Structure 1
Amino acid sequence: MTQYVLYGGKGGVGKTTCAAATALQYAREGHATLVVSTDPAHSLSDVFDAPVDAEPTHVRDDIDLWAVEIDPSERIGQYRGQVSAALSELEDLGISLDESDLDDVIEAGVAPGTDEAAAMDLFVDYMDDPRYDYIVFDTAPTGHTLRLLKLPDVMSSAMGKLISVRSQMSSLADSVRGFLGTGDDEAEEKPDIEAEIDLEELQARMERVGRVLRDPERTEFRAVLIPETMAVLETERLLAELDAYDIPAGRAIINKVIEDPTPECDLCQATHESQQKRIGEARERFELPITLVPQFHGEVHGLEAIERVADRLGANA
């Protein structure tokens, strides 16, 4: 059964590095692993120092490690067509959604230009892909991540409203056509809009991914932060939001920790002391295990550097 690990947190804390390192760790253990970037500002290719495309790319020859940077544009166009067709069909029947229903549809992310819906729908494709044992997700900064995780519920509800209203109005229109004696002829001439829209299938996909995200046997969310006051507070709020939506959080990763400050460096010593206080606060505030990843010299760039992070994550997981 495929397992899913999602990394989230504010921008610049090292989510991509941790996601890449975790994927590398699983692949080194012999598991076919895919790491997926849902962040519009993709950086997996920079971290791996290798090209990563919109389709899964094999990034290391000796192990089964794959990476993909999601391009949501195709799915966004698909949503635009589905919802526009549904709304046009309702208008043809002399009905339009009220303002609150339209708001639900827009909030669900099916309005043109919203990429969270496309990313979550692609999640289902990778869920069903038999090639991978583990899938690691590098999500966008906190606000986008929360919208992404809330999306299955909101979108399923919105699709349900569209399906219900469309069904009621279609039945009414069929009854009226039957009463007027024009039902058979018009039914033959009417295009098969139902086959093009597939709202029921879209709703079912969202419900499936919602169940998987809430299943602690299959999914684990890991929050990444740096040892600073604002980062600790923001992560505490993120964990509270995850708990409210029953998304299982399994671990916090505190990145860029100064472990052995240079004795002669006053700034290094002061930063180390401050970081230790923030780490202590995190341990008090977070009701989950905490892994510390040290501050490495230079950028974590390339597979050799990611291996060092993977070693630390593996040793403390």
Structure 2
Amino acid sequence: MTDGLTSGRLHACEIDPNAAFDEFRQTLSAFDIDKLSDALGVSPDLLESLGLREFSNLLQNPPPGLDELVALANVLDIKTTSQYDVVLVDTAPTGHTLRMLALPAFLDGLLGKLIALRMKLSGLASTLQTFFGSGGDEAKARSQTIDDAVNKLEAFRSKMSGLRSRLQDHDRTSFAVVTIPTKLGIAETERLIIELQSQNVRVSDVVINQCVKVGDENSEDDNVAEAAAIKSNIYYQRRCKGQSDCIDELDRALKDVSATPEYRRNNGGDMDASPIALTKVPLFDVELVGVPALGYLSNS
């Protein structure tokens, strides 16, 4: 979708995680026990004894976050992003994001197991050829079936590895963590930042939404009567006090993180790297939707 108010300079798209899951399913479908047993002409029980059941189970129960990871890899593909100055991705909540970032390592381990499995299956194909006297073409076809299956996963793993490299490219990629001023929100934010740091991912900004702002009675920009009414409201006083405490806690945590060796490493080793920026967004009485509303927000 292209927005006309920005003269075609702003584009948006919504990814389909179900299509991403289908891509992973097709990648592993070659390791389905029933399909492979037909291709090799052996009993499914024999393949299960070689450890193939684990891969068949992945078809039915993929790791959490895999659909978002594949979709993200497609969105951030260099062929897609090269025509844009900036690409902004709205990721899943904390838990999904962390699991998603850990999946490339999971796929590396999976590929190692599959390579070992390929050796077993190749040995099995050779045994079948010797035992049944299979022709050369049939033996080659069986071996090619195994190789094609592993090659598909290798290509998939390579795509995921490329995504991880882009996410860890400190010159091109940074995370902006969005949270709300509650104890739970702040705790989740601190946990996410620490985990991202440990995975060599640069965090540049933290945005706090829904901040209640009490007007200053002495300010010329505020309605004096409205500001006075808000200040006399006990609910707002308590709400502002609670939010202020949470924001202060997060501010201290960000300063501590910004002073760590991991943070400086993720900023190219710069000892004078700017600390993580903290931006407070006020609570509006309406939902901000569309380019004009975003323009208003950026100027508020």
Deviation of the 1:98 alpha carbon: 7.3
Alignment-derived partner of residue 292 in structure 2: 304
* 2:246 alignment partner, one of 273, 278, 282: 278
User: d(CA) in 1 for partners of 2:36 and 2:49?
Assistant: 8
Per-residue displacement from partner, 1:234-278 (whole Å, max 9, x unpaired)?
A: 211122222232222221111122233422222333322332222
Alignment-derived partner of residue 103 in structure 2: 151
Deviation of the 1:178 alpha carbon: 5.5
User: d(CA) in 2 for partners of 1:85 and 1:149?
Assistant: 25
Contact 1:116 1:148 in 2 (8 A): yes
User: d(CA) in 2 for partners of 1:82 and 1:202?
Assistant: 7
Alignment-derived partner of residue 82 in structure 1: 27
**Does residue 1:219 correspond to 2:168, yes or no?**
no
Alignment-derived partner of residue 161 in structure 2: 207
SS of corresponding position for 2:12: strand
Deviation of the 1:220 alpha carbon: 0.9
Contact 2:50 2:117 in 1 (8 A): no
Alignment of 1:57-96 (within 5 A): 57-61=1-5, 62-88=7-33, 92=40, 94-96=46-48
**Amino acid in structure 2 at the alignment position of 1:68:** C
Call closer, same or farther: CA 1:249–1:67 in 2, change over 3 Å. Answer: same
SS of corresponding position for 1:134: coil
* 2:70 alignment partner, one of 121, 126, 129: 121
User: d(CA) in 2 for partners of 1:81 and 1:273?
Assistant: 53
Deviation of the 1:280 alpha carbon: 0.9
TM-score (norm 1): 0.68
Alignment-derived partner of residue 228 in structure 2: 263
SS of corresponding position for 2:174: strand
User: d(CA) in 2 for partners of 1:97 and 1:154?
Assistant: 23
User: d(CA) in 1 for partners of 2:84 and 2:124?
Assistant: 47
Call closer, same or farther: CA 1:139–1:64 in 2, change over 3 Å. Answer: same
User: d(CA) in 2 for partners of 1:144 and 1:150?
Assistant: 10
Alignment-derived partner of residue 283 in structure 2: 295
SS of corresponding position for 2:48: coil
Call closer, same or farther: CA 1:90–1:173 in 2, change over 3 Å. Answer: same
Higher helix share: 2
Q: Where does the alignment leave 5 or more consecutive residues of structure 2 unmatched?
A: 216-226, 258-275
Contact 2:64 2:99 in 1 (8 A): no
**Amino acid in structure 1 at the alignment position of 2:92:** A
Contact 1:223 1:252 in 2 (8 A): yes
Contact 2:64 2:96 in 1 (8 A): no
Q: Whose relative contact order is higher, 1 or 2, with alpha carbons under 8 Å and at least 6 apart?
A: 1
Tell which deviates more after alignment, 115-124 or 60-69: 115-124
Alignment-derived partner of residue 171 in structure 1: 122
Identity, % of aligned positions: 26
Deviation of the 1:73 alpha carbon: 1.7
**Amino acid in structure 2 at the alignment position of 1:279:** I
SS of corresponding position for 1:219: coil
Spell out structure 1 runs of 4+ moving beyond 6 A.
97-101
User: d(CA) in 2 for partners of 1:77 and 1:303?
Assistant: 33
**Does residue 1:187 correspond to 2:139, yes or no?**
yes
Per-residue displacement from partner, 1:277-313 (whole Å, max 9, x unpaired)?
A: 221111111233211112223111222111123346x
User: d(CA) in 1 for partners of 2:199 and 2:186?
Assistant: 20
